């Protein structure tokens, strides 16, 4: 999954993209080998302020409309807002990637169900503005599984078919570095317990900062490669990344190791 952020404050991009640049970047992401693309109009980095639905739509809709009929790969919209998801799906999005797991705007599940889209349910606690306030776990893998199960139940109760669900253990979200590494190490256990396709998004995140020698986010692709490898070996079905071309090679090699095992 290639990441396309159209926000003015992304933690992992050198500068914001205007709509034309974003469209060109989306086409490049496809050419670099991504299997799907995730378009986001609100930053969810630690400390980020939330934005209203109209602001988010103003950022993503020109890109979605400009890509209609031009991309061959599926499009995901990275949003937790029901109103944004509804318009994005109508504009061609196939998947809604909800970082809140339906906690922030529960009616989102009904929108996804009515429109026949797929849904990613990510594990988190609290809001981006206070990302680490709830980072307290008795057993991080067991707690993530238990809390994601409640999110899966909520989605199914709203009419989203189980076959349309993907789970994401939420690396970096309400998790300190040790928690994120713990989740990566125990992905096989998490995946087996939930029994659903699993998306993992380690790309350039702050838990990799120390491994990168304190480097800024844009210089964390080497530790990202290690985390992507761990994710694939741990059973992830999708990895969400910024640097698509090199990570395609990383995934191919990791898949060969996985298959040989």
CATH number at residue 49: 3.20.20.20
Residue 133 to residue 40: CA distance in whole angstroms: 24
Q: List the catalytic residue out of 25, 59, 81, 240.
A: 240
Q: Are strands 165-168 and 199-200 parallel, antiparallel or unpaired?
A: unpaired
Asked whether the beta carbons of 234 and 188 are under 8 A apart, the reply is: yes
CA separation for the pair 9, 32 (Å, rounded): 24
Using CA atoms, how far residue 70 sits from 23, 24, 30, in Å, is 10, 11, 10
Range of the domain at 138: 2-178+190-199
Q: Is the pLDDT of residue 13 over 70?
A: no
Q: How many structural domains does the chain have? A: 1
Q: What is the rounded CA–CA span in Å between residue 39 and residue 67?
A: 11
The answer to whether 173 and 131 have CB atoms below 8 angstroms apart is yes
91-142 confidence digits (pLDDT tens): 999 999 999 999 999 999 999 999 999 999 999 999 877 878 899 999 999 9
Whole-number Cα distances in Å, 155 to 2, 100, 162: 25, 12, 8
Residue 14 domain-assigned (yes or no)? yes
pLDDT of residue 133: 87
Residue 129 covered by a domain:
yes
Query: Does 53 map to a domain?
Result: yes
pTM: 0.94
Which of 25, 175, 205, 220 does the annotation list as catalytic?
205
Query: What is the DSSP code string of 224-239?
Result: HHHHHHHHHHTT-SEE
Residue 184 resides in a domain: no
**Residue 218 placed within a domain:** no
Q: Is residue 24 part of a domain?
A: yes
Instruction: Please tell me what DSSP assigns to residue 186.
Output: T
Residue 175 among the catalytic residues:
no
| Residue 65 resides in a domain | yes
Checking if the pLDDT of 201 tops 60, the result is yes
pLDDT band at 197 (very low <50, low <70, confident <90, very high): very high
pLDDT tens track for 18-68: 899 999 999 999 999 999 999 999 988 777 778 999 999 999 999 999 999
pLDDT band per the 50, 70, 90 thresholds, residue 14: low
Enumerate residues 6+ apart whose C-beta is below 8 A from 133.
Answer: 126, 174
- pLDDT at res. 17: 83
In a domain, 145, yes or no: yes
Query: What gap in Å lies between CA 127 and CA 131, rounded to an integer?
Result: 6
Sign of the torsion angle spanned by Cα atoms 179, 37, 4, 166: negative
pLDDT tens column, 69-103: 999 999 999 999 999 999 999 999 999 999 999 99
* Structure confidence at residue 15 as a pLDDT band (50, 70, 90): low
205 flagged as catalytic: yes
List alpha helices for 15-52, DSSP H. Answer: 19-31
pLDDT digit string, tens, across residues 215-226: 999 999 999 999
Query: How far apart are the C-alpha atoms of 27 and 237, rounded to whole Å?
Result: 23
For residues 32 and 122, give the distance between their C-alpha atoms in angstroms, rounded to a whole number. 26
12 pLDDT band (50/70/90 cuts)? low
Dist CA 231 CA 118 (whole Å): 22
């Amino acid at each position: 999954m290639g990441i396309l952020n159209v926000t003015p404050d992304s933690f992992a991009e050198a500068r914001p993209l205007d709509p034309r640049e974003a469209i060109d970047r989306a086409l490049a992401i496809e050419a670099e080998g991504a299997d799907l693309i995730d378009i986001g109009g609100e930053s969810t980095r630690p400390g980020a302020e939330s934005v209203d639905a109209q602001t988010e739509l103003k950022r993503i809709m020109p890109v979605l409309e400009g890509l209609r009929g031009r991309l061959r790969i599926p499009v995901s919209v990275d949003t937790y807002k029901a109103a944004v998801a509804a318009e994005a799906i109508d504009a061609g999005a196939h998947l809604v990637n909800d970082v809140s797991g339906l906690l922030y705007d529960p009616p989102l599940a009904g929108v996804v169900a009515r429109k026949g889209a797929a849904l990613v349910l990510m594990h988190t606690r609290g809001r981006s503005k206070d990302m680490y306030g709830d980072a307290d776990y008795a057993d991080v893998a067991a707690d993530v599984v238990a809390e994601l199960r409640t999110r899966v139940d909520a989605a199914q109760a709203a009419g989203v078919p189980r076959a349309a669900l993907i789970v994401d253990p939420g690396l970096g979200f309400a998790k300190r570095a040790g928690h994120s590494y713990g989740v990566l190490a125990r992905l096989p256990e998490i995946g087996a317990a939930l029994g659903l396709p699993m998306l993992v998004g380690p790309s350039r995140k702050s838990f990799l900062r120390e491994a990168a020698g304190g480097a800024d986010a844009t210089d964390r692709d080497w530790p990202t490669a290690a985390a992507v490898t761990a994710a694939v070996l741990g059973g992830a079905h999708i990895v969400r990344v910024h640097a698509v071309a090199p990570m395609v090679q990383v995934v191919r090699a990791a898949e060969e190791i996985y298959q040989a095992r």
